[in-house]
Amino acid sequence: MSFKRKNKSNLILVLPVLILTIIFSLTYSYGAEILKGVEEVKAFGGYKVNSEVQVSEGKISHIEIYGSDFAGSHAETNKAYMERAVKGMKDKFIGKSATDIRGIKGIDNVARATISSDAIKKSVMNALKLEEQEEPEYLPDKAPAPGDYTIQIRDVIERIEVKNAGGGIQHSLLGTKTAKALLHVDKNRKMSISYLLKSGTVDEPLYILSYNGFYNEDLDNLKEPSLEGVEVQNIFWEKSSLKKYAELKGISDKVVGRVTRPLKELKTHYYDNVKLYVPAMKDVNKPGFDNGKFTAVSKLTPDWKTLKKVKELKLANGSYTVKGSLLQPDGVTPSMADGALQKKITLDVKNGKYYAVLNFDKMKKGSVEGYLGSVKYYASGYIIDEGAIHGELRNTDILSYHTDKKGKRIKDEYGTDYPKTVRFQVIPEAKLDGTAPLQLTIPVMESFGEGAGTKDVLLKLDWSSVKKKPEKEKPIKKFKVKSNKKKVVTLSWQKVSNASGYTVYMAKSKKGKFKAVKNIGNAGKNKCILKKLKSKKKLYFMVKAFKKQKGKKVYIAKSKVISVKVK
């Protein structure tokens, strides 16, 4: 009994000390003051994001984040997204400075929980009483000089339904918070902007089904959208791509790709009308919503400080060569088909349009040998997502096929009609960055499994290597060589149009080196007499016609070689 009384007495003495120790430990670890913040989310019924933040030595040492007041038919869905965002973000706040606005805002959002992620960061900033000082938006005094420019933009959903200013949803239509756009200014300083809308990305799980036009007015006074001067390039999903985009089955076979729209005047914000589909809302049916499909107003914001003149390749009509290589969609790793591509590519230019001519040899990779079965190219407005290229595929023109020694088309166990030379029009994006997306089929690779022979690749053109192809020399007709007098040879030929003059060449043997022996600067003169030659010597002659370009001789025609024995 005494033993029990002794322990009871000790416990009574020790317990207050233990409680004080725990309180002191908690106070030391997390700080004595709990800072509370709230951010209200209005989207899809609405809810509140609550944060309790403790600061020690100027840094966040402990944090609790939870949601409350979930309302509407999407309450359970919002709870799930909120829990997902808390789990992925909570630990990232620990150690951040309690005054570091940029550091807190820079914490990565949790994929497919963008709204909750943004609200969590705002709630924490509210707890810490941090107010982001917005920089005044820069606006130039006048439109840029005529030319092409790159510019950073933001494009987010501003509100759902024109008549309903509610919504509170600010999903990006660019797939990321910001993206690069192209600004064109014509000679009258009229502006148009071209940018790529992205559907089905990890961060923004929505699909842009249609672009319905732009507004000339500000947000508070919007009228009917206009399609005047608008160009939309849609992306049609291939059946092979629908595995990834299964959410679009039964909804649409296309999404919006590249949009080009006019900018009527200089503004900080512009507004567009788009039709969207959000799979997470497929069960929503109420005014303005049709099983996840709805119309929204988006706000396009160009960052005018980032405007940069584009040095676009501009070539005159003609034929050129350019170095190229085939890369995987990551833009870095060489493609397996790169070894089959002849690296000197022909580039034909006609009225501002560029046409690439590719030549392919037999492909060899280790023990695997075979030919390309087909070459297609992606139209403007393509996107690259998770190692694959998506967009509208078009056929290239086949100029020649692989043949055997007898001139018959190659045929093997995998097929026949293998293209050797193909031609296609280079898309506008490639004129800026040299990247043209292609899709190749390699029949021999199909033996490794279905789909293994279909490869998306990027043709990377090195614009710095562009060289003008020399003009093909035309034949000079009616070329004659005679020796009617001792030690004299007379040459004559038909005049060549556009020629500035002619050069006469002579060699002492059939395989000897031809040397220029006479230059004739008169385009109208088509006869030449050479004297003091060695008698009884057989000599070989040839004539070339030239024209002068920028002070240099450019040969445009030549004769066949004729021999004569000097008299």
Mean pLDDT taken over the chain? 85
pLDDT by residue (tens digit) across 329-350? 888 888 888 989 998 999 999 9
What average pLDDT does the segment 296-320 reach? 89
Instruction: Tell me how crowded residue 188 is: count the other CB atoms within 10 A of its CB.
Output: 7
183 vs 189, 193, 231, 308, 485, CA distance in Å? 11, 4, 14, 9, 73
Where does the pLDDT of residue 550 fall: very low under 50, low under 70, confident under 90, or very high at 90 and above? confident
Strands 293-309 and 254-263 come out as: unpaired
pLDDT of 552 over the 90 cut? no
pLDDT by residue (tens digit) across 221-248? 888 999 999 999 887 766 545 555 667 8
pLDDT by residue (tens digit) across 514-536? 999 999 998 889 999 999 999 99
Residues in the chain: 567
pLDDT by residue (tens digit) across 266-284? 999 999 999 999 887 787 7
Q: What is the structure's pLDDT at 29?
A: 43
Rounded Cα distance, 511 and 509, in Å: 5
The pTM of the full predicted model, rounded to 2 decimals, is 0.57
Contacts of 320 (CB under 8 A, 6+ apart): 346, 347, 348, 349, 466, 467, 468, 469
pLDDT by residue (tens digit) across 193-224? 999 898 877 667 789 999 999 999 988 888 89
Of the candidates 93, 101, 98, 70, the residue with the CA atom closest to the CA atom of residue 83:
70
pLDDT by residue (tens digit) across 425-458? 999 888 878 899 999 998 888 766 666 788 899 9
pLDDT of 138 over the 70 cut? yes
pLDDT by residue (tens digit) across 154-204? 999 888 865 554 455 678 898 888 888 999 999 999 999 999 898 877 667
Q: What is the structure's pLDDT at 237?
A: 65
More confident residue, 550 or 417: 417
Of the candidates 271, 40, 302, the residue with the CA atom closest to the CA atom of residue 159:
271
